[in-house]
Amino acid sequence: MMSVVLKKVNLFLFVYLFLSTFVFSGDLNFIKINKRVNESLSLKSLVDKMDSSNEDNSLNIKDLNGFIILNFWASWCGPCEDEIKDINEFIDLRNTLHPDVKIYGINIFDNKKDALSFKRKNPMDYPNFYDSTNTIPVFFGISGVPETYFLKDNLIIYKYVGKINSDDLLKGINKAKSFNN
Amino acid sequence: MIYLKVLTKRNHLIISLIFLLFSIQATANDSSDLYEISNELMCPVCQGQTVAESNSKLAISMRDVIKQKITEGKSKKEILNYFTEIYGDNILATPPVKGLNILLYFVPILFLIISIFYWLKKVKR
């Protein structure tokens, strides 16, 4: 009798775990945050002296309004290099589907020289900044790179842990847009 | 006149020395505060290392935040609260005695008492 019950429990657990890998796997990388940016978080523009782009010299995350995506990366991180192609692809999609969404790359846990040579090697079609204070990762509770954050009017809504692709970027925007505080 | 000049030079030297001593004292206090606070925080990406012991990128960043908060004049309690708001109580090297954490403090004592009783019972037999 007992062995029959145990067999049924085992079967149930197996089916549950098997199905859950398919049902929940897509959203496992998304983590709900719901935290307001209430302190000044200043970043400097990651541009060469030779760079002719007209990017702003600095950015304060606290001043950002509307829908914002922040992608945190480092020059020594392989997945960060892999995801650039997808983010560049997403920029084209964003222009037609979500023109109100802004995306910024933020270099952390790094030095400016390595970050600049990484950026030269891997062109990014979105403005990039670097954390000169080395304090930004703590505020966001970042544990590693790459991590991508979805914000709406100063509120950090979701984070995506790991290499992101254009589908997940769109999913993140839809999640952020449908989020009710 | 020469005497005055010497006096002024000596005064300058004394004042400079006093400033030097104060700055050394302040730096020593800051670094001991930094060590004390970072030793009370666990590194979230390391195994069993405090922020003071770890050289991971995140631990270095956490030490920089602690330095910044000390410079801003924040107290140890305020700094520890800042980190627990972000990472939760698990970030503390000494978890507070509340909620499920109570088990951490009392279960070992309970097991010790049970073991003593069991041992005494066995010895009596």
pLDDT score recorded for residue B93: 95
pLDDT for residue A135:
93
pLDDT at B1: 54
Which pTM does this prediction carry? Answer: 0.76
Q: Are B86 and A139 within 8 A, CB to CB? A: yes
A89-118 residue pLDDT tens: 999 999 999 999 999 999 999 999 999 999
Which chain A residue has the Cα nearest residue B60?
A134
- Cβ neighbours of B60 in A, within 8 Å: 134
Closest to A144 in 3D by CA, of B52, B57, B82, B41: B57
**B55 CB within 8 Å of a chain A CB:** no
B20 lies in the same domain as B73 = yes
With CB atoms and an 8 Å threshold, state whether A137 touches B61.
yes
- The pLDDT assigned to A9 comes to 80
Are B76 and B107 in a shared domain?
A: no
How high is the pLDDT of residue A18?
75
B116 and B88 both lie in a single domain: no
Within this chain, do residues B104 and B124 fall inside the same structural domain, yes or no? yes
Q: Which long-range contacts (CB under 8 A, 24 or more apart) does B32-37 make?
A: B33/B70, B33/B76, B34/B63, B34/B66, B34/B67, B34/B70, B36/B76, B37/B66, B37/B70, B37/B76, B37/B79, B37/B80
Mean pLDDT for chain B? 86
Per residue of chain A (181 residues), give pLDDT as tens. Answer: 667 777 888 888 888 777 766 655 557 899 999 999 998 899 999 887 666 555 558 899 999 999 999 999 999 999 999 999 999 999 999 999 999 999 999 999 999 999 999 999 999 999 999 999 999 999 999 989 999 999 999 999 999 999 999 999 999 999 999 998 6
Provide the pLDDT confidence category of residue B21 given band limits of 50, 70 and 90.
Answer: low
Which of the two residues, B103 and B56, has the higher pLDDT score?
A: B56
Tell me the nearest-neighbour CA distance from B97 into chain A, angstroms: 24
CB contact under 8 A, A133 and B45: no
Q: Which of B81, B52, B54, B57 is nearest to B69 (CA)?
A: B81
pLDDT in tens, A15-37: 877 776 665 555 789 999 999 99
Q: What residue in B sits closest to A134 (Cα-Cα)?
A: B61
Phi-psi category of residue A69: left, alpha or beta, with phi > 0 → left and psi -120 to 50 → alpha: beta
Does B20 lie in the same domain as B35?
A: yes
Q: Topology of A30-177 in CATH?
A: Glutaredoxin (3.40.30)
Instruction: Please give the full DSSP string across B3-53, using - where no structure is assigned.
Output: HHHHHHHHHHHHHHHHHHHHHHHHHHHHHHHHHHHHTTBB-TTSSS-BTTT
Residue A2: the pLDDT is 65
- The nearest CA of chain A is from the CA of B67 a distance in Å of 10
Q: How many CB pairs under 8 A join A and B?
A: 33
pLDDT at A47: 84
**B10 and B47 fall within a common domain:** yes
Domain ranges of chain A: 30-177
Among A32-41, A161-170, B37-46, B59-68, which stretch is predicted with the lowest mean pLDDT?
A32-41
Q: Are residues B70 and B108 in the same domain?
A: no
Please give the pLDDT value at position A173.
Answer: 95
Contact A138 B57 (CB under 8 A): no
Mutate to test the interface with A, among B57, B69, B81 (most CBs of A within 10 A): B57
- Whether B28 has a pLDDT exceeding 60, the answer reads no
Same structural domain for residues B6 and B66?
yes
Which structural domain, as residue segments, surrounds residue B25?
Answer: 2-94
How many domains does the structure of chain B reveal?
2
- B109 and B76 in a single domain? The answer is no
The predicted pLDDT at position A156 comes to 96
**Is B61 close to A139, i.e. CB distance below 8 A?**
no
Chain B residues with CB-CB distance to A74 below 8 A: 57
Task: State whether B64 and A109 contact (CB < 8 Å).
Answer: no
Task: Read off the pLDDT of residues B72-119 as tens digits, 9 standing for 90 and up.
Answer: 999 999 999 999 999 999 899 998 888 888 888 889 999 999 999 999
- CATH assignment at residue B87: 1.10.8.640
Residues B39 and B58 in one domain: yes
Residues B87, B105 share a domain: no
Question: Which residues of chain B are within 8 Å of residue A149 when distances are taken between CB atoms?
Answer: none
Same domain, B61 and B119: no
Distance CA A87, CA A71 (A): 9
